Chains A and B, each alone.
Chain A
């Protein structure tokens, strides 16, 4: 009798768990990108751990990479003194710092070149699941100003859009996620289409939809943002055509694009929090348009 009631209780708990899971799925399908207070609280707890682990992981890969270099040098130079090795280590550390500094300078260059208000962010996690291409970023500042749909860039090109926001950290839906869609243009032909992520590939790939056959593209053609929609500035680098799939029938070409951004090596990004200022209708006047905050949809 006791065993039977326990079995029922066990079964009931399992059933309730499954029902809660289905209910959660339904809610997230209806309101994608929205987080409950509990979710935001959990993410606030998780993000520092991710940031710390990311920092440690980067330090380890840096040291490991340098170690591999060092073992080669050591084999050839066994006679070198300890001081020499210390100097080399210092030199490598300086190189790493210089490389990091260069990255920040490129980011600053992009910030200066981007005609919109931006916030820098550090990538703390990327691609936890291969079925959802999402990166988590920690904002430098401006907590509360970032909204869903805001564009994210690096000096190499477009990264994606903000998908979920929880305090200082945000999820970025990468360009290569199949849920991502971006209006693009092929400058050589002037052809326009929609760039979508291809999650089924063993590589970071996208495809262009609705690219008319009348404007045939070639492998190597650059792909840039069209600026349509107002979120992304026009002519931002997106990627290059790497494959034209033959045999496609109908009105449109079947084209594969490799993004210019290496998503496996993302470290720092810029979030555009306001669109570029509108062109001055009276170039002679001294009026400068303000950079107000716009909510992207």
Chain B
């Protein structure tokens, strides 16, 4: 249920991302809402590492379809980003607006680099260009980051309440993800 709800909101955000240019005063880059979904599932203690990787893959795959990118580029990069976010939680507790924005900024830059790297392998005619837009996209993503992450935390809270009503409440993750997050 948590995955389905997250993917549905991710779908809405992806549609918003693909049409937000109509509204945005900046016409060259948009905040990467899809990446923020991935960051949330990677950073949240309520997600296991496997489910965060699968949701990141599906979000990336959907984003590949929506953005016209070669299939698999974002799916692969977002899966790596979910693992990156999970690894990050073993070092830093990403709470609050400033850390949320900073994490979104760094993750956006890293994902831009990975996307260009993977694109150069899949579509070599595209070359290595594109990184000049990365800082602008990262700034926009950092601005949107705390709000979107907070939205997903609320969504998780609602899912928890719904699960507890039917006796399916789940605590923080355990297993491999639990061992990764223990500090």
Q: Determine whether the beta carbon of A50 is less than 8 Å from that of B49.
A: no
Q: Does B75 contact A (CB under 8 A)?
A: yes
> How many angstroms from the CA of A177 to the CA of B68 in the assembled complex?
11
Contact A129 B126 (CB under 8 A): no
Collect the chain B residues with CB atoms within 8 Å of residue A163's CB.
68
Q: State whether the Cβ of A132 lies closer than 8 Å to any Cβ in chain B.
A: yes
Give CA–CA (A22, B132) in the complex, Å. 26
Q: Find out whether the CB atom of B127 lies under 8 angstroms from the CB atom of A43.
A: no
Q: Does B69 count as interface, using CB distance less than 8 angstroms? A: yes
**Contact A27–B72 (Cβ < 8 Å):** yes
Whether the pair A50, B119 counts as a contact (CB closer than 8 A) is: no
Q: What secondary structure prevails in chain B residues at the interface with A?
A: helix
Asked if residues A46 and B15 are in contact (CB atoms below 8 Å), the reply is: yes
Known: A39-B65, A130-B30, A163-B68. A200 touches B50 (CB 8 A): no
Are A200 and B131 in touch, CB under 8 angstroms? Answer: yes
Pick out which of these stretches binds chain A: B88-96, B149-157, B159-167, B170-178: B170-178
Interface residues on A, range: 35 or more
Given A14-B83, A54-B19, A199-B129, the answer on whether A28 and B71 have CB atoms closer than 8 Å is yes
A125: which B residues are within 8 A, CB to CB?
A: 15, 18-19, 66
| Nearest CB of chain A from residue B10's CB, rounded to whole Å | 12
Known contacts A25-B70, A171-B68; A130 and B130 CB within 8 A of each other = yes
- Give 11 A-B pairs besides A27-B71, A54-B22 with Cβ atoms closer than 8 angstroms: A13-B50, A17-B54, A17-B57, A29-B70, A39-B71, A60-B22, A126-B21, A128-B30, A129-B32, A136-B68, A201-B132
Chain B positions within 8 Å of A, measured between CB atoms, are 11-12, 14-23, 27-30, 32, 48-50, 53-54, 57, 60-63, 65-76, 79-80, 83, 112, 115-116, 118-119, 121-123, 125-133, 136-137, 174-177, 179
